[in-house]
Amino acid sequence: MRKLLAFISLVCYLFYSCDCALPDSQLIEQTLKNSLFSTYDKTIRPDDQVSVDITATLQQIVAIDEKQQIMTSSSFISQTWYDYRLTWANNASNNNISVLMLPVKNLWIPDTMILNSADTSGYFTVNDYSLASVDYRGQVYMILPALSVRTRCNFLVQKFPFDKQLCSINLTSWSQGANRILYTENRSLVIDLSEYSEHPLWKLNGTDMIVTEAADRAPFEDTYNDIISIQLYLQRKPMYFMLNGIFACLILNAVTLIAFALPFATQISLSMICFMTYSVYSLSFSSLFPQQSDYLMTITLYFLLSICWTLIAMLWFVICNYFITKVRMPRLLYAFCELLQRVSTPRPKKDDKTDKKDVIVENGEIKKSVDEESTKATRAQRMKCVCCQKLFVSCLQRHHRVESIDKKQHVLDDDMKPIRTNPTDVKPIETEQNETN
């Protein structure tokens, strides 16, 4: 009990003996804040129509997701307006205080939100540590960090990777029309790019800030909403996609062209490898872009043409190999060649001389030729052969080379064979001697 009384007496002595009062400057500032907020109501607008000036400072484009069509950017959005309830005299009685830093949650602020936000809430984040700068004339300057703003953009990737995009950040009041909150843009600043850092895949060609009008969402008033649109003009840097996509497919096209000088088995294997590589590239690029059926991308068309080129080359390899290994061509191909020959060659004019039969001179004797029907048949057969030779010159040349090699090998084999004689023609030596005697 004695110890408790001693402790209480010590605390009382320290409380009365120590001077815990604030300095004069801080005491005047505290008195000024109390006088400003004594009759202040943050739920009431400062005026019938509040003019809000918006400026933006773009720091970085963090990421662009073409498949989800979302742009993530980092910036600072500042808003300025006048609140005449927060005015005071800048004189010696107030210690010449011209600016006060006041908590944002204690002030009236416009309900500005991002209209095309991809997040669940498009409002700017205001916490207990957010402060606003207020001068003695009642001008309020509030800057909020928008470090990760996700907005929706309509990407047109038809000319990928040489495309240009226009992305915007649309700001407006969600619940109050232009008769209550009037948004204006600062034409002198527009968008501050002094702290901007370039994106590795996108180049910022320019910026703009415009004000547009939209229908008011409130059903009881006939007014409109002001929309501040911060527009970013972006251009894709194509170097990465050219080296990893277009140039690689161009090399595969060259490999398919070189395959014409290789044997049949190597040709088919190279064609299959090209097919597999094209499919991998198509899947990797299709995962980047949004699913749409409005237009055909240029790079997709390039992949399709490359695949068709490889398919045509493979078909040609198979057809040539078929005609090399087979002796005769199929009848359908003969009919097709004959049809092409009839279409391409003009018909001769009919003369009286053509009705006569041809005459052939052989060994000094005159002989009549065969009938006209047989001559037509021979001519048609010759036309078939000529047409087929024109269509498949390379295949027939290779076929003749193989035949000539086989003939040479056959002649060499015949020369190497021993000469066989009839045993009846060979006479014994003794019988020859007796005959001579």
Domains of the chain: 24-236 (2.70.170.10), 240-339 (1.20.58.390)
Q: Is the pLDDT of residue 171 over 60?
A: yes
Q: How far is CA 323 from CA 188, 331, 387, 405, 409, in A?
A: 78, 13, 15, 17, 22
Task: Provide the 3-class DSSP secondary structure of residue 185.
Answer: strand
Average pLDDT over residues 114-138: 84
What is the rounded CA–CA span in Å between residue 299 and residue 310?
17
* Highest mean pLDDT of the ranges 122-126, 188-192, 297-301: 297-301
Q: What is the dihedral of CA 231, 237, 242, 244, to 10 degrees?
A: -100
Strands, E, within 271-421: which ranges? Answer: 359-362, 365-368
Give the model's confidence band at 327: pLDDT under 50 very low, under 70 low, under 90 confident, else very high.
low
**Model pLDDT for residues 372-397, shown as the tens digit of each residue:** 555 555 555 554 444 445 444 444 45
What is the rounded CA–CA span in Å between residue 274 and residue 268?
10
Least confident of 25-34, 354-363, 400-409: 354-363
What is the rounded CA–CA span in Å between residue 115 and residue 46?
24
Tokens linked to 342: 């009839």
Least confident of 260-269, 349-358, 409-418: 349-358
Rounded to the nearest integer, the mean pLDDT of the chain is: 76
- Confidence at residue 16, expressed as pLDDT on a 0 to 100 scale: 56
Nearest alpha-carbon partner for 230 in 185, 178, 177, 165:
185
Q: Is the pLDDT of residue 230 over 50?
A: yes
**Model pLDDT for residues 13-36, shown as the tens digit of each residue:** 655 555 445 566 678 888 888 888
What is the rounded CA–CA span in Å between residue 133 and residue 152?
32
Tokens linked to 334: 């003969």
What is the rounded CA–CA span in Å between residue 274 and residue 282?
12
Q: Is the pLDDT of residue 88 over 60?
A: yes
| 80 strand-pairing partners | 53, 141
Tokens linked to 385: 């052969």
Alpha helices in 287-367 (DSSP H): 298-325, 331-344
Q: Identify residue 289 by its one-letter amino acid code.
A: F
* Highest mean pLDDT of the ranges 91-100, 238-247, 418-427: 238-247
Task: Provide the 3-class DSSP secondary structure of residue 189.
Answer: coil
Contact 63, 11 (CB under 8 A): no
Query: Apex CA 255: angle with CA 252 and CA 257, to 5°?
Result: 115
pTM: 0.65
Give the model's confidence band at 71: pLDDT under 50 very low, under 70 low, under 90 confident, else very high.
very high
What is the rounded CA–CA span in Å between residue 27 and residue 24?
5
The proportion of the chain whose per-residue pLDDT surpasses 90, expressed as a percent, equals 8
Q: Across the chain, how many H-helices and E-strands are there? A: 10, 13
Please give the backbone phi and psi of residue 251, each rounded to the nearest 5 degrees, phi first.
-65, -40
**Model pLDDT for residues 93-118, shown as the tens digit of each residue:** 777 888 899 999 889 999 888 888 88
Average pLDDT over residues 137-158: 87
**Model pLDDT for residues 190-210, shown as the tens digit of each residue:** 688 888 899 999 999 988 888
Q: How far is CA 182 from CA 54, 88, 211, in A?
A: 11, 25, 10
Q: Which residues contact 244 (CB under 8 A, 6 or more apart)?
A: none
- Confidence at residue 242, expressed as pLDDT on a 0 to 100 scale: 87
- Confidence at residue 159, expressed as pLDDT on a 0 to 100 scale: 87
What is the rounded CA–CA span in Å between residue 425 and residue 201?
96
- Confidence at residue 428, expressed as pLDDT on a 0 to 100 scale: 47
Strands, E, within 66-138: which ranges? Answer: 70-82, 99-103, 112-114, 131-135
Which carries the bigger pLDDT value, residue 144 or residue 401? 144
Please give the backbone phi and psi of residue 171, each rounded to the nearest 5 degrees, phi first.
-115, 135
Average pLDDT over residues 274-286: 83
